[in-house]
């Protein structure tokens, strides 16, 4: 057996993700954080075949004739979730020609048109510089979340794999994004009550038979899309205040939607209700400032309290350029009371489950796609870095525009001390 990949080689393997073909290989002697009920398995082997996890432990050990990666006890996790982002939908946030995350129809509130049929995934650019920046730090997938432009309806988004392929959308992950609370109120004519009023109108239009009169919110295509979400579709509501969270959950249930709470800085206040209704929350566990009157209850203990109440949680900062920092969110949640395994699940298995991908992503288990990261140490620690990343069994070249910049100037800095 030969050792195929050099550990700690931050210049990375020679093949780019695009060119490399999935190869069978064995990762030997890793500390596996499985994000399953099995928890952490020490000194364990993982066999990857055809881009998927074929065997774990003793069953993997017998594999003959495949290249071996010696993990030497290092920690292996599933590929990480980058959060709800515009990864691949934006390059430079303030340069509008490089941003494809937001639809602006520019009509006033009372003549507004809703376009839930907008799906941002065709705008995804796998060659954006943001993609390798995230990928080389173990972020293997993210959910493209359209931002609200001038209506509360952001449109539809979906999960994408970040291995550089063009057909990156992960099937079954499509979701509708709606902005509620005070942010939505500004787009609904000034009151958060109008968010529900307009949603009710859209639902009536969707359920109406035949043509709708003037002043309709929805076009035909929009009605078709809304109909799908009214029969069990996943709707991600950006909402913060406890009262609004409960309002959204009740509204979604009454209308056949499957709600996901995003933001949820006061979710801990209604944790019991969320657990009973089995509604997941995608939160930023670092959010602790009363940034506005919807965030008065923001707290560093939000994640720990939700977990204790039995709510399924996932982490997202919403930051596309720094999607790589989801690990830091998880580590801080641990510092503030969340069990370590739950924190890892919040950036692996839980978001995969929330977006309908749990059968293939988010865990180290037989049959899962081989999105794997081998770390220099504790993966939730800020001083830990990814040593190797695989997406669907292919090694990721650990290079990005940022490592190119670093290498260009590093020699100059190292060349001499100046005094």
Partner 1 sequence: MMLPSRVLLFLSTAFAVSLGLAAEPFPSTYQVPASPALLIQGAVVLTGTGERIDGADVLIENGRISAVGRALAAPAGARIVAAQGRWVTPGLIDIHSHLGVYASPATKGLDDGNEATNPNTANVWAEHSIWPQDPGFETALEGGVTTLQILPGSANLIGGRSVVVKNVDAVTYQAMKFPGAAYGLKMACGENPKRVYGEKNQAPSTRMGNVAGYRQAFADAQDYQQQWDKYRRDLAEYAKKKSDAASGGKKAKDKESGDKDLTAPTPPKRDLKLETLAEVLHGNIRVHMHCYRSDEMATMLDVADEFGFKIVAFHHAVEAYKIADRLAQKGVCAAMWADWWGFKMEAYDGIQENLPMVDYPDHSCAIVHSDSGDGIQRLNQEAAKAMAHGARAGLMVPPERAIRWLTLNPARSLGLEDRIGTLQAGKAADLVIWNGNPFSVYALAQQVFIDGALLFDRDHPAIKPRSDFLLGQPGEGAAL
The DSSP secondary-structure symbol of 318 reads -
Q: How far apart are the first and last CA of the chain?
A: 50
Report how far residue 259's alpha carbon sits from residue 63's, in angstroms, rounded to the nearest whole number. Answer: 44
Report how far residue 149's alpha carbon sits from residue 127's, in angstroms, rounded to the nearest whole number. Answer: 25
Nearer to partner 1, 95 or 167 (CB): 95
Cα distances (Å, whole numbers) of residue 54 to 51, 208, 381, 408 = 9, 50, 29, 41
* Neighbouring C-beta atoms of residue 399, cutoff 10 Å: 17
By the criterion CB under 8 A, which residues form the site for partner 1?
10, 91-95, 129-130, 242, 266, 268-269, 286-293, 295-301, 304-305, 321-322, 324-325, 328, 331-332, 334-337, 380-385, 402-403, 405-406, 409-410, 412-414, 417-419
Question: Residue 404 burial (CB < 10 Å; 0-12/13-18/19+)?
Answer: exposed
Nearer to partner 1, 118 or 333 (CB): 333
Residue 246 CB, shortest distance to partner 1, in Å, is: 13
Is residue 345 within 8 Å of 34, Cβ to Cβ?
no
Nearer to partner 1, 228 or 321 (CB): 321
Residue 164 CB, shortest distance to partner 1, in Å, is: 18
Report how far residue 70's alpha carbon sits from residue 79's, in angstroms, rounded to the nearest whole number. Answer: 19
Nearer to partner 1, 303 or 364 (CB): 303
Residue 209 CB, shortest distance to partner 1, in Å, is: 44
- Paired with 77 in beta bridges are 373
Residue 219 CB, shortest distance to partner 1, in Å, is: 33
Residue 74 CB, shortest distance to partner 1, in Å, is: 15
As given in the structure block, the two tokens for residue 192 are 């958060």
* Neighbouring C-beta atoms of residue 327, cutoff 10 Å: 27
Beta strands in 268-414 (DSSP E): 281-283, 313-315, 372-375, 386-391, 394-395
Nearer to partner 1, 354 or 396 (CB): 396
Written as one string, the DSSP assignment of 23-61 is: --EEEEEEEEE-SSTT-EEEEEEEEEETTEEEEETHHHH
Report how far residue 375's alpha carbon sits from residue 75's, in angstroms, rounded to the nearest whole number. Answer: 5
Residue 126 CB, shortest distance to partner 1, in Å, is: 17
Residue 11 CB, shortest distance to partner 1, in Å, is: 11
CA atoms within a 13 Å half-sphere pointing along the CA-CB vector of 162: 37
Residue 413 CB, shortest distance to partner 1, in Å, is: 5
Residue 205 CB, shortest distance to partner 1, in Å, is: 35
């Amino acid at each position: 057996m030969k050792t195929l990949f050099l550990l700690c080689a931050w210049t990375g393997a020679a093949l780019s993700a695009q060119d490399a073909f999935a190869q069978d290989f064995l990762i030997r002697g890793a500390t596996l954080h499985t994000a399953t009920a099995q928890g952490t398995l020490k000194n364990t082997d993982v066999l990857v075949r055809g881009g998927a996890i074929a065997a774990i432990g003793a069953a993997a050990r017998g594999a003959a004739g495949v290249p071996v990666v010696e993990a030497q006890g290092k920690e292996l996790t599933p590929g990480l979730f980058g959060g709800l982002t515009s990864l691949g939908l934006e390059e430079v946030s303030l340069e509008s020609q490089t941003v494809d995350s937001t639809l602006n129809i520019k009509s006033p509130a009372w003549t507004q048109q809703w376009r839930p049929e907008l799906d941002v995934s065709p705008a995804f650019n796998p060659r954006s510089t943001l993609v390798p920046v995230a990928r080389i730090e173990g972020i293997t997938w993210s959910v493209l979340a359209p931002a609200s432009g001038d209506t509360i309806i952001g449109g539809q988004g979906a999960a994408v794999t970040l291995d550089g392929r063009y057909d990156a959308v992960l099937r079954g992950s499509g979701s509708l994004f709606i902005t509620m609370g005070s942010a939505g109120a500004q787009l609904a004519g000034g009151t958060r009550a109008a968010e529900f009023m307009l949603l009710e109108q859209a639902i009536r239009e969707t359920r109406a038979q035949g043509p709708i009169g003037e002043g309709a919110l929805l076009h035909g295509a929009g009605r078709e899309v809304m109909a799908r979400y009214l029969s069990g579709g996943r709707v991600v509501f950006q909402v913060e205040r406890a009262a609004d969270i409960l309002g959204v959950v009740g509204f979604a249930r009454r209308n056949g939607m499957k709600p996901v709470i995003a933001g949820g800085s006061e979710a801990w206040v209604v944790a019991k209700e969320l657990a009973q209704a089995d509604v997941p929350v995608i939160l930023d566990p670092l959010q602790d400032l009363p940034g506005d009157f919807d965030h008065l209850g923001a707290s560093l203990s939000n994640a720990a309290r939700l977990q204790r109440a039995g709510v399924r949680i996932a982490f997202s900062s919403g930051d596309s350029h720094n999607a790589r920092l989801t690990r830091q969110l998880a580590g801080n949640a641990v510092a503030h009371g969340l069990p370590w395994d739950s924190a890892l699940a919040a950036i692996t298995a839980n978001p995969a489950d929330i977006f309908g991908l749990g059968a293939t992503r988010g865990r180290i288990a037989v049959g899962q796609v081989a999105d794997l990261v081998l770390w220099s140490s504790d993966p939730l620690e800020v001083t830990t870095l990814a040593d190797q990343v695989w997406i669907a069994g292919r090694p990721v070249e650990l290079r990005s525009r940022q490592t190119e910049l670093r290498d260009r100037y590093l020699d100059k800095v190292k060349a001499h001390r100046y005094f």
